[in-house]
Chain A
Amino acid sequence: MSAHCGPVSARAVTGRTRLALVGSPNSGKSTLFNALTGLRTKTGNYPGVTVARYEGVARVGEHEVVIEDLPGTYSLDPISPDEQVVADVLDPGNPDLGTPEAVLVTIDATTLRRSLGLLAQVMQTGLPICVVLTFRDELARRGGSLDVAALRRALGVPVVGVTSGSRNDLAELQSMLLDRSAWERPVVPPPTDPSQRRAWVESLLHSAAYEVPEADRRTRRIDSVLLHPLWGTLIFFATMFVFFQIIFTVATPLQDAVQSVFDRLGTQVTEHVSPQLLSDFLGNALIGGVGGVLVFLPQIALLFLMISLLEGSGYLSRAAFLMDRLMAKAGLEGRAFVALLSALACAIPGIMATRSLPSAKDRFATMMGAPLMTCSARLPVYVLLTGLLVSPDTRVGPFGAQGLVMFALYLAGAFSAMATAWVFKRFSSRSGPVLPFYMEMPSYRLPRLRSVADAIWSACKGFLSKVGRIILLVTVGLWLLLSLPMHSDAHLRSAGIDPADRTAVSAYEVDHSFAADIGQAIEPVFEPLGFDWQINIGVLGSLSAREVFVATLGQVAAAQNPDQPAEALTHMTYTDGPHQGEKLFTPATTAALLVFFLYALQCMSTIGVMRRETGSWRWPAVAFGYMFVLAWTMAFLTHTVVGALT
Chain B
Amino acid sequence: MNGGSSAPVVPMHPEAGADPQTVRWVIPAGTLPVVGRMTEAPDELGAMLHSGDIASIEVETRAVVIRLADGRSWSALGAQVRDALSTALRHPEQWRPADEVTEDDLLRAALQDVLAGPAGDYIRSHGGEVTIVSAHDRRAEVRMAGTCTHCPAAGFTLHSRLESELRTRFPDLVELRATEESAKAPRGTWLTVRRRRTPS
Contacts and interface: CB of A to CB of B under 8 A. Distances in A.
B81 A200 contact: no
Nearest to B2: A195
A207 B16 CA distance: 14
Nearest to A192: B79
Interface in B70-94: 74, 78-79, 81-83, 86
B78 A154 contact: no
B15 A156 contact: yes
A200 B15 contact: no
B4 to A, nearest CB: 14
Contact of A199 (B1, B9, B14, B16): B9
Interface string A172-209: 00000000000010111111010110111011101100
B23 A191 contact: no
Contacts of A198: 9
Contacts of A114: none
B44 to A, nearest CB: 14
B12 A187 contact: no
B11 interface: yes
Interface string A75-89: 000000000000000
Contact of B13 (A184, A193, A200): A200
Interface string B22-45: 010011100000000000000000
Contacts, number: 63
B161 to A, nearest CB: 14
A156 to B, nearest CB: 6
A280 B79 CA distance: 78
Nearest to A195: B9
Interface in A138-189: 153-154, 156, 184, 186-189
A199 B26 contact: no
A211 to B, nearest CB: 15
A228 B184 CA distance: 65
A206 B78 contact: no
A187 B9 contact: no
Contacts of B78: 187-189
A204 B74 contact: no
Interface residues of A, number: 21
Contact of A187 (B10, B27, B74): B74
B11 A191 contact: no
A203 B82 CA distance: 14
Contacts of A154: 13, 15, 26
A203 B9 CA distance: 11
Contacts of A188: 14, 23, 74, 78-79, 81-82
Contact of A186 (B1, B2, B14): B14
A196 B86 contact: yes
B94 to A, nearest CB: 20
B126 to A, nearest CB: 19
B129 to A, nearest CB: 24
Q: Which of B8, B14, B79, B82 has the most CB of A within 10 A?
A: B14
B9 A189 contact: no
A193 B1 contact: yes
Contacts of B83: 191, 193, 196
Contacts of B8: 195, 199
A207 B13 contact: yes
Nearest to A209: B118
B27 A191 contact: no
B11 A202 contact: yes
| Consensus secondary structure, chain A interface | helix
A196 B1 contact: yes
B12 A199 contact: yes
Given A188-B79, A207-B26, A200 B11 contact: yes
B15 A199 contact: no
A200 B25 CA distance: 11
A187 B11 contact: no
Given A188-B78, A188-B79, A188-B81, A199 B86 contact: yes
Given A156-B16, A187-B16, A188-B82, A199 B11 contact: yes
A210 to B, nearest CB: 13
A203 B26 CA distance: 7
Nearest to B10: A199
A145 to B, nearest CB: 13
A111 B124 CA distance: 34
A156 B14 contact: yes
B8 to A, nearest CB: 8
Nearest to A207: B26
A322 to B, nearest CB: 37
Nearest to B77: A188
A195 B10 CA distance: 10
A187 B14 contact: yes
A398 B81 CA distance: 74
A206 B11 contact: yes
B166 to A, nearest CB: 17
Contacts of A189: 78-79
A203 B27 CA distance: 7
A539 B163 CA distance: 83
Contacts of A207: 13, 26
A187 B15 contact: yes
Contacts of B28: 203, 206
A153 B1 contact: no
Interface in B132-171: none
Contacts of A200: 11-13
Nearest to A124: B79
A187 B78 CA distance: 8
Contacts of A193: 1, 83
Contacts of B17: 187
B195 to A, nearest CB: 25
Q: Which of B15, B26, B78 has the most CB of A within 10 A?
A: B15
Contacts of A186: 14
Contacts of A195: 2, 8-9
Interface of B: 1-2, 8-17, 23, 26-28, 74, 78-79, 81-83, 86
19 contacts: A154-B15, A156-B14, A156-B16, A186-B14, A188-B14, A188-B79, A190-B13, A195-B2, A195-B8, A195-B9, A196-B1, A196-B86, A199-B10, A199-B12, A199-B86, A200-B13, A202-B11, A203-B12, A204-B13
Given A187-B15, A187-B17, A207-B13, 19 more contacts: A153-B15, A154-B15, A154-B26, A184-B16, A187-B14, A187-B16, A187-B23, A189-B79, A191-B82, A191-B83, A196-B1, A196-B82, A196-B83, A198-B9, A199-B8, A199-B11, A203-B13, A204-B13, A207-B26
Interface of A: 153-154, 156, 184, 186-191, 193, 195-196, 198-200, 202-204, 206-207
State the 8 A-B residue pairs at the shortest beta-carbon distance, nearest first. A188-B78, A203-B11, A202-B11, A199-B9, A203-B13, A199-B11, A188-B14, A195-B9
